[in-house]
């Protein structure tokens, strides 16, 4: 209650401050209008308010505003789609990116008036606003998405792919969530610019039945109050569009994540039964040929039978993680606990487990295993709020409930005391279900806890 009251107080203070600022500039407007004393040059707030009320009471005003808005938003939507496609291709092809970037940089630097005049010659006035908005918004969308895609967390993406999260689920669970901050920043800049470009195109092209035409008529007849009233309507429409679209974009992040979590195991139902049907993964890997940069792995051939258990031991930097990464690539989709933490920090512990889980795993069973391995944990708490040992056991829970024929653990018991390690190891053995087990550690006690006698020393 105190937090809510404090939040409401802060909002009231913000509203009061905004009101004070508005009152200040309104007073400045009134003063300047009185000093000029020429309504045709600068009408006062009262005259503009009367003109605005007259326009608001005319149904034709809203039809014109809606028509212009549809064309502007249409051009913006087209720019979003094309920018997304171009950015996606550019993220996979440097050659394509080098070809596209200069052209879009040129468009970005070109004055709106020049673009509109050229479009009038090529397309005529009917389509000029859509095309102008498209060309003005496209560079902003493209460069923001390219930057966002370049900043995507690659290790976390690798985790999702190894656990079988691909296609639309990978986009919803990872890519969109990572790119969304860049999209929001772009939206705040591009939406207002799109309204400016669209109305300017209508005005220059004198498209019939548009906001631009009405502004041109007001200017032609020196109806300054009407011109300012139309300006207020355009600004209000632009502001409303920005607020609505930014809100929808913000909501899309949790919605996309929730869809990915609810569809866990999608497309992997057949593989999820593999271990139980005696079809667990087998591995025969010439490691030295794959990692010439790791001298400790030179000449090593890793052979693991279906359901086999092997421990790789060695000092830090000996190549244990490299060996396990190569094995994971051969066994994917598989279950893996990485040496470094790979969790979605803003999501709950339960969702972090479910998003990669087998199709047959439900929320209640996942929550039960979490509570067993992490006593007292709030499964709905964000993993960012958990301790290092708790986060580690969330990752182990995720690995145990994932589909695939292999469980690969890279220093899984880091940060756990002996009692927590033993409880976790028992859970691993109980839920292994015939799958191959690969362990990398520097502590023989970890191998003993997992009942592994076949040890490779690097």
Evaluate if residue 95 carries a pLDDT over 50: yes
Reference 333, options 101, 92, 197, 166; nearest CA is 166
pTM of the model: 0.85
Taking residues 202-228, report their average pLDDT.
Answer: 87
Residue 245: CA atoms inside 13 Å, Cβ hemisphere, count? 20
| DSSP H or E run through 441 | strand 436-441
Q: What is the tens place of the pLDDT at every residue in 116-156? A: 888 888 888 778 899 999 999 999 999 999 999 999 999 99
- How far apart are the C-alpha atoms of 19 and 89, rounded to whole Å? 47
Q: What is the tens place of the pLDDT at every residue in 155-213? A: 999 999 999 899 999 999 999 999 999 999 999 999 999 999 999 999 888 888 899 88
Angle at Cα 308 formed by Cα 307 and Cα 314, nearest 5°?
Answer: 145
């Amino acid at each position: 209650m105190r937090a809510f009251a404090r939040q409401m107080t802060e909002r009231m203070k913000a509203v009061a401050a905004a009101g004070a600022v508005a009152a200040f500039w309104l007073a400045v407007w009134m003063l300047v209008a009185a000093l000029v004393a020429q309504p045709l040059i600068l009408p006062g707030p009262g005259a503009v308010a009367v003109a605005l009320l007259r326009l608001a009471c005319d149904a034709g005003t809203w039809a014109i505003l809606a028509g212009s808005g549809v064309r502007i938003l249409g051009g913006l939507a087209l720019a979003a789609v094309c920018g997304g496609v171009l950015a996606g291709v550019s993220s996979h092809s440097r050659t394509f990116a080098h070809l596209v970037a200069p052209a879009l940089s040129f468009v970005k630097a070109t004055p709106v008036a020049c673009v509109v005049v050229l479009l009038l010659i090529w397309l005529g006035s009917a389509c000029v606003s859509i095309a102008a908005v498209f060309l003005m918004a496209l560079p902003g969308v493209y460069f923001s998405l390219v930057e966002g895609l370049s900043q995507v967390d690659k290790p976390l993406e690798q985790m999702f792919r190894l656990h079988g999260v691909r296609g639309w689920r990978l986009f919803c669970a990872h890519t969109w969530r990572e790119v969304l901050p860049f999209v929001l920043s772009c939206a705040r800049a591009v939406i207002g610019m799109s309204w400016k470009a669209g109305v300017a195109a209508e005005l220059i092209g004198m498209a019939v039945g548009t906001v631009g035409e009405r502004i041109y008529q007001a200017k032609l007849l020196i109806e300054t109050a009407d011109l300012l009233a139309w300006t207020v309507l355009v600004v209000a429409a632009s502001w409303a569009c920005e607020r609505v679209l930014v809100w929808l974009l913000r909501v899309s992040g949790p919605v996309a994540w929730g869809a990915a979590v609810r569809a866990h195991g999608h497309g992997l139902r057949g593989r999820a039964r593999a271990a139980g049907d005696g079809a667990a993964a087998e591995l025969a890997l010439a490691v030295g040929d794959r990692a010439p940069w790791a001298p400790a792995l030179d000449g090593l051939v890793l052979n693991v039978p279906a359901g086999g258990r092997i421990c790789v031991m060695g000092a830090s930097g000996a190549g244990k993680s490299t060996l396990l990464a190569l094995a994971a690539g051969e066994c994917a989709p598989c279950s893996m606990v990485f040496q470094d933490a790979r969790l979605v920090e803003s999501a709950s512990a339960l969702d972090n487990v479910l998003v990669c889980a087998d199709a047959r795993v439900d929320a209640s069973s996942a929550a039960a295993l979490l509570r067993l391995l992490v006593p007292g944990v709030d499964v709905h708490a964000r993993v960012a709020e958990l301790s290092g040992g708790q986060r580690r056991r969330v990752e182990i829970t995720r690995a145990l409930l994932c589909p695939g024929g292999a469980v690969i653990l890279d220093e899984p018991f880091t940060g756990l005391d002996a009692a927590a390690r033993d409880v976790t190891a028992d859970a691993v053995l109980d839920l292994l279900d015939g799958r191959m087990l690969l362990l990398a550690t520097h502590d023989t006690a970890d191998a003993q806890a997992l009942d592994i006698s076949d040890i490779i020393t690097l």
